[in-house]
Structure 1
């Protein structure tokens, strides 16, 4: 009812201005109509034979997409939207390219899909030396600064030098990670999967700060976080990142960006990042000609639609923030539940790489999770070599059979042979896809003493 009461007067105004606009359009001179046609023509892209042939033989361009409001995210209907989505739709109209989105859930996963050839394009990746080895980057079409995000109530971070001997948390394969490791070795760098996890580390006090795009940082206000200074001399430019080996695709995209009207690009950025407005022509009251009513129609229509769109967008952003908060709460609970278990527990992926473990697992092997994360048993020195090779081979064999294992055995650890009760079970996603192994063990002698 509330929406209907708002929409009815809006509809009446739109109909009124539409009638005035159509009348003025009909009264427009043939010369003005011809000029409008020229403006559209200037935005067309002239492609050569090789580029046209490439488009014909590649009907779909796979875009690896990561939700990052307001650049690229899903609306309440599950459709991709945002500034980058609007940009690709416009390029599609100009060139005939058809873009298909495949969702990723971290920067590391996006890069892996591009490296493997599972995706052709990304709209969210910044340029650095590592990425240039397997990616080509288009002309830049905008950008923002990198900013420090730290805990509220403490002095804000002003420079990377302020983070010496402190923990800086970044998503894995962050654009600035290699530079920080090389030029600022005194910073204790930690890696997580997403920006949301990085902010959670800062909120919990596990890290002193993280680094995020200035636009992204502004979208997630929190009473426990504060935005510090811009990272000096580091600019997060906007590019279209293309998997190497596709020079025709890169050329087509660059031609489209060159032909993209500057004012249209400016309005597109303002629409998403600053609230676009239509500038009024100078001397409005002095020039009462046929375009006055048309200008009023465009201005009113755009203002009304922008109001409705901004309200809708606010709801979408609020839902995304709430979903990320709920996900963080679930992850925190899972970690707390595992750490509460007295026996060692671990989770490994389909290649035997460690995804998660509890505190008892770290204590049993006298190590820390961040030393073992993403690595196989045979890649870390936490067990005798023959034990690590034996267990890794058993994990891989069990993944192929998909059977659970529960048995007593003797196993050689660094401190000696132990009698243990070992268990490992495969675990699956909601749609039935196997994701890895969940396992652990119990010290039989310790349990016997407790009994």
Structure 2
């Protein structure tokens, strides 16, 4: 019980953290599970005269499209579908534009279509300096990170430095190609046409790894490959890329993206992208930020230490209770033993105060130990004052000399003069220190009568 009382503040804080993470994760899950169509009505755009004129003169916009599952792909009926197609359809309802897909089969071919004017725009290109020379990019409407895809039998890749001296394969004109060649010259970079070819080279062990968008990386069976860590600091926002000479089109697309209700965009992305990485979706733990992980670790260690400490204290308490029980038994035995002795016995401390006596001592003075506890001989009515002073002085002297005393003597009690055999011995503690005096007396007349009867 004491353990839970001490842990209550930390447990309350931890429950609050878990509730917050659950609310954030649960909210996204509800949007993903929602079955209603995300867009049913178009919004109104504040287009200027130049933009409206451009739409009248260019009602059809050619989109260079490469199949990229979930973002843009052909369904079983051969029709284009996916997140980006839904966004283009919504923009079409808002602007009156008709977006026509023209298929390409590699990033290199797609970029060439834009450079040659065979297409007006695309939806699946990441931004880099080379592409900004001939393309304008819209506002971002989401994004994802880049991840390593390496061999399943080797350690998980976590940084580009691990690839120095090894072969990295990328589709030609990949968004990160120029940067990697510039910043990591020790990496042997090979280019192919498609992501599929890049994965095949890694699987056949002709290359060590490739780099993919994390959304696409989790869509294929792992086989002999494994998805590694995200490239630190590398994020791929989702853009609509337009040829530079079509500036009105970029302005129209930006206004359309700004008109998207945030809830609608979130629901649309959840419709297509939620659940693409089962190994991450299996536990809400992965949705907790890093500091939350450390809080859980620290809390777990605190609980473990508290539990061990509680267990240790409980063991010590049990041991103490057992020792106390043994001591109580010994005290009761000693008390019974003293009470069984027919002659008076007393124990006094270093100040001459009574700390214990037997029943015969109580009977002799016709009182109870509770009334005599802590009294000196000079405080007792059992002896005349002169006798009490004499005995107290002898007791204090004996404590100084630490010598035992065994003597026959006549002693004046309150009830009269008696012949007694008086004895007293110093007693010591377990540490060897003097603790007091143990003594008693035997009535010589009663002893003489007893001996005569025995004879």
What TM-score results when the alignment is normalised by the length of structure 1? 0.52
Task: Tell me the alpha carbon deviations over residues 390-432 of structure 1, each in whole angstroms, 9 at most, x when there is no partner.
Answer: xxxxxxxxxxxxxxxxxxxxxxxxxxxxxxxxxxxxxxxxxxx
**Equivalent in the alignment of 2:350:** none
CA distance in 1, matches of 2:77, 2:123: 21
**Equivalent in the alignment of 2:132:** 132
Structure 1 position 211, deviation (Å): 0.1
**Equivalent in the alignment of 1:96:** 96
**Equivalent in the alignment of 2:51:** 51
**Equivalent in the alignment of 1:251:** 251
CA distance in 2, matches of 1:210, 1:181: 14
CA distance in 1, matches of 2:41, 2:206: 56
Residue 214 in structure 1 maps to residue 214 in structure 2: yes
SS at match of 1:235: strand
Structure 1 position 42, deviation (Å): 8.9
Task: Tell me the alpha carbon deviations over residues 2-33 of structure 1, each in whole angstroms, 9 at most, x when there is no partner.
Answer: xxxxxxxxxxxxxxxxxxxxxxxxxxxxxxxx
CA distance in 2, matches of 1:227, 1:275: 16
CA distance in 2, matches of 1:172, 1:100: 25
Gaps of 5+ in 2: 1-38, 277-455
**Equivalent in the alignment of 2:272:** 272
**Equivalent in the alignment of 2:17:** none
8 Å contact from structure 2 (residues 167, 189) kept in 1:
yes
The count of aligned residue pairs is 238
SS at match of 1:153: coil
SS at match of 1:175: coil
**Equivalent in the alignment of 2:195:** 195
Task: Tell me the alpha carbon deviations over residues 227-270 of structure 1, each in whole angstroms, 9 at most, x when there is no partner.
Answer: 11101111011000001111100000000000011000000000
**Equivalent in the alignment of 1:339:** none
CA distance in 2, matches of 1:70, 1:151: 24
8 Å contact from structure 2 (residues 124, 240) kept in 1:
yes
**Equivalent in the alignment of 1:74:** 74
Q: Displaced runs of 4+ in structure 1, greater than 6 A?
A: 39-42
Residue 242 in structure 1 maps to residue 242 in structure 2: yes
CA distance in 2, matches of 1:151, 1:86: 35
Residue 105 in structure 1 maps to residue 105 in structure 2: yes
Gaps of 5+ in 1: 1-38, 277-451
CA RMSD of aligned residues (A): 1.6
Query: How has the CA–CA distance of structure 1 residues 40 and 273 changed in structure 2, closer, same or farther, with 3 Å as cutoff?
Result: closer
Task: Tell me the alpha carbon deviations over residues 257-307 of structure 1, each in whole angstroms, 9 at most, x when there is no partner.
Answer: 00011000000000001169xxxxxxxxxxxxxxxxxxxxxxxxxxxxxxx
Structure 1 position 156, deviation (Å): 1.1
1:27-426 to 2 correspondence within 5 Å? 43-274=43-274
Task: Tell me the alpha carbon deviations over residues 44-63 of structure 1, each in whole angstroms, 9 at most, x when there is no partner.
Answer: 21111100100010121000
CA distance in 1, matches of 2:76, 2:223: 27
Higher Cα Rg, which structure: 2
8 Å contact from structure 2 (residues 42, 94) kept in 1:
no
CA distance in 1, matches of 2:41, 2:243: 30
Structure 1 position 40, deviation (Å): 8.8
CA distance in 2, matches of 1:82, 1:41: 19
SS at match of 2:154: coil
Structure 1 position 223, deviation (Å): 2.1
Task: Tell me the alpha carbon deviations over residues 361-402 of structure 1, each in whole angstroms, 9 at most, x when there is no partner.
Answer: xxxxxxxxxxxxxxxxxxxxxxxxxxxxxxxxxxxxxxxxxx
Task: Tell me the alpha carbon deviations over residues 416-451 of structure 1, each in whole angstroms, 9 at most, x when there is no partner.
Answer: xxxxxxxxxxxxxxxxxxxxxxxxxxxxxxxxxxxx
8 Å contact from structure 2 (residues 139, 257) kept in 1:
yes
Structure 1 position 221, deviation (Å): 2.1
8 Å contact from structure 2 (residues 136, 243) kept in 1:
yes
